[in-house]
Amino acid sequence: MRQGTEWEPKLVGFLCKWCSYAGADLAGTSRKKYPANIRIIKVPCSGRVDPLFILKALRLGFDGVLVSGCHPGECHYQTGNYRARRRVAITKKFLEYVGIEPQRVQASWVSASEGGKFTEVVAEVTKGLKEIGPNQLFSQERQGDGTKAT
């Protein structure tokens, strides 16, 4: 994919089924316009998201990842989103240190009634991704030998 006016980023959203997923649904049914860039994966709780999921999505070539759950204090399982918050926070910061643009890993709190906020979040994240361009972090010509030893 070449960067240019026609290029549209691809984004994976891990959305908590109790809130953000319903929020996305609401945005859809109330015909709010949000960028079609997001592919949604429903998770039982934002606390389900292993940072590994984020890395795997980037490895598969997605341009960005959004983790979205219930606002603090509103987790269906009491503390799932608090745990997600710590995990996402260290992941985001750590990936930045390793050299992954911070725009690629995003997180938000979106409740079931916040269809509008969901639309805004996706639009903002997409805009950020357009600014930094396609994810070419892991790309390389597919070949047999990646080591120096040979």
Residues binding another protein (CB under 8 A)? 50-52, 55-56, 59, 72-73, 79, 82-83, 85-101, 106-109, 121, 124-125, 137-138, 140, 142-150
The CB-of-93 to another protein minimum distance in angstroms stands at: 5
Nearest Cα residue to 24 out of 78, 82, 68: 68
Q: Do 110 and 19 form a contact (C-beta atoms < 8 A)? A: yes
The least distance separating another protein from the CB of residue 110, rounded to whole angstroms, comes to 8
Closest CB to another protein among residues 22, 58: 58
Is the separation of the CB atoms in 58 and 138 below 8 Å? yes
CB-based contacts of 112: which residues, under 8 Å, 6+ apart? 18, 19, 22, 23, 26
Cβ proximity to another protein, 25 vs 82, nearer residue:
82
Measured from the CB atom, the residue of 48 and 92 that comes closer to another protein is 92
CB of 42 to another protein, least distance (A): 17
Report, in Å, the least distance between residue 104 CB and another protein.
Answer: 10
Nearer to another protein, 5 or 149 (CB): 149
